[in-house]
Amino acid sequence: MLTQQNTPKVYRHEIKYFISKQDAFLLSRTLSCCMQSDIHMGDRGGYWIRSLYFDNQDNRDYWGKVNGLPDRRKIRIRIYQTDTKTAKLEIKNKSSSYILKETVEISRDDSERLLRGESSRLLCYRDQVANRVYIYLHMERLRPVLLIDYEREAFLYPFENIRITIDKDVRASISPHSLYDKDISMLPVFNDERYILEIKYHTYLPFFIKKILSGLDLELTSASKYCLARQAVSI
């Protein structure tokens, strides 16, 4: 029996903006002086992420976001390198402006089974997230639909559990079964140099962060990378 540690559920605020390449560069330099850099950034100053999203035949999760439903949920698998031996299986819950991300680490073999529609191995994990994903996959007939790649810079501040990320070069593929293919062909989500800025925190932002953001030309958005990517590849 595979075991995982279940952690308390804590919702956080999430605010998203479109940000220009130039402003993203300035913001990154500023944040690096007053916040902690994510340990995964390393010497490269960022790290690569690939997410595989599930949806049902009616594209319920996509249309739920497009139609602005206040309470939504997405199921995804996330990896950080194609030769990894493990993957993160996640439920991203959204309630108004609050988010809750629940994660369980599964083996690469088990993630590949999910791509083939074989989910019974999730019952071998003594973990609530794995068990709920198993139920969602069966009850809602979810199947893999889309891959999204991007490069991320991430900065942390322990007060209010603040996390600020800048996502660059967002691109997508409608070949979700190629999750571990490093040479897969992908389409850019934006035809300009827009990046995505995300700010997550528990209850409120400190004044110094608000002041930093106020000096930038930011475009508030509620768009998700999943919906933007689906629109970019026209599915």
Question: Which tens digits make up the pLDDT trace of 153-192?
Answer: 999 998 899 999 999 999 999 999 999 999 999 999 999 9
Q: Write the DSSP symbol of residue 215.
A: T
What's the pLDDT score for residue 190?
94
What is the pTM for the complete model shown? 0.91
What's the pLDDT score for residue 97?
78
Sites in the chain below the pLDDT cut of 70: 1-9, 235
3-state secondary structure (DSSP) of residue 216: coil
Burial pattern 74-90, b for ≥16 Cβ within 10 A else e, equals bbbbbbeeeeeeebbbb
Phi, then psi, of 108 in degrees rounded to 5: -60, -40
| Short-list 99, 105, 102, 44, CA closest to 75 | 102
What's the pLDDT score for residue 113?
95
Show the tokens assigned to 118. 């074989």
What's the pLDDT score for residue 134?
96
Phi-psi region of 122 (alpha: psi -120 to 50; beta: other; left: phi over 0): alpha
| Short-list 183, 181, 82, 75, CA closest to 133 | 75
What's the pLDDT score for residue 95?
86
The whole-angstrom separation of Cα 101 and Cα 216 is 28
What's the pLDDT score for residue 27?
97
Show the tokens assigned to 164. 């600020």
